[in-house]
Structure formats: structure tokens, C-alpha cells
């Protein structure tokens, strides 16, 4: 067997073995992750939220009143952010809709922040 044929045979063997082991092991891992989802992931129960009965204003507890006040604060926050975005993007306020606000600094990895601050052009 010539060196070329030997090299070719060795490469094919390594290729099949390497790709095979990698694909199979990562496939097994994906199955384990699917299994983990079944055990640990509980989708948010929307029905429960929707079926809460309506109540009179007198029945609202101080805790809930505090939450309402927080919501008012959040409206102010949305207004401020919308104004800032409007100035930054040079777009009228009515063309900007804030879907949700999420604090990103505490959990976002360093390169996630880099991606946000310096988007690829």
C-alpha cells in the first residue's frame, strides 16, 4: 500500500470516527437536555392569570396598592426611555413602542455587552 493510500485510509478512518463520536455524543446530550426540560421546565400558567376574578377597589390590599404605584413609576420610566430613544434615533415618539424593559447589566456576559454597545456594521 502506498503512502498516499495509507494517508487517505487513515484520514477517512479518523474522519468517520471523530465525526461519529462527536455527533453521537452531542446527540445524546441533546436528548438529556430534552429530558431535563420535561422534568424542570414548567411553562407559565396563563389560564390561572386569566381566570382571576375581578374585585372591588376596597378589597385591594396595601401590598397590591404598592404594586399599582410601582406600575405608575414604570410608566414614567417608559416615558423617559421613549423620549431618550426618540432623541437618539431621531424618530418621533409615536413611532417608538416599548415592549418591555429588562435590566441587562447584571447577568449579561461581557461579550454580550460588547455586542450591544458595538453592533457589527
Binding track, positions 47-86, relative to other proteins; x by CB under 8 A: ----------------------------------------
Q: Which secondary-structure segment (H or E) carries 29?
A: helix 3-40
d(CA 35, CA 46): 23
Question: Segment 10-39, which members bind other proteins (CB under 8 A)?
Answer: 10-12, 14-15, 17-19, 21-23, 25-34, 36-37
| Contact flag: residue 110 with other proteins (CB under 8 A) | yes
Residue 13 or residue 65: which is nearer to other proteins going by CB?
Answer: 13
d(CA 97, CA 55): 30
The nearest distance, CB 18 to other proteins, in angstroms, is 5
Burial label for 78, CB within 10 Å (0-12, 13-18, 19+), is middle
Amino acid at each position: 500500500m502506498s503512502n498516499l493510500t495509507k494517508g487517505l485510509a487513515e484520514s477517512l478512518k479518523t474522519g468517520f470516527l471523530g465525526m461519529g463520536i462527536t455527533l453521537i455524543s452531542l446527540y445524546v446530550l441533546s436528548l438529556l437536555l430534552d429530558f431535563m426540560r420535561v422534568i424542570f421546565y414548567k411553562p407559565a400558567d396563563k389560564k390561572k392569570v386569566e381566570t382571576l376574578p375581578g374585585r372591588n377597589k376596597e378589597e385591594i390590599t396595601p401590598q397590591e396598592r404598592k404594586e399599582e404605584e410601582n406600575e405608575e413609576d414604570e410608566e414614567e420610566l417608559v416615558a423617559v426611555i421613549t423620549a431618550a430613544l426618540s432623541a437618539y434615533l431621531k424618530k418621533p415618539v409615536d413611532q417608538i413602542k416599548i415592549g418591555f424593559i429588562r435590566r441587562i447589566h447584571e447577568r449579561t456576559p461581557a461579550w454580550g455587552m460588547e455586542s450591544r454597545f458595538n453592533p457589527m456594521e
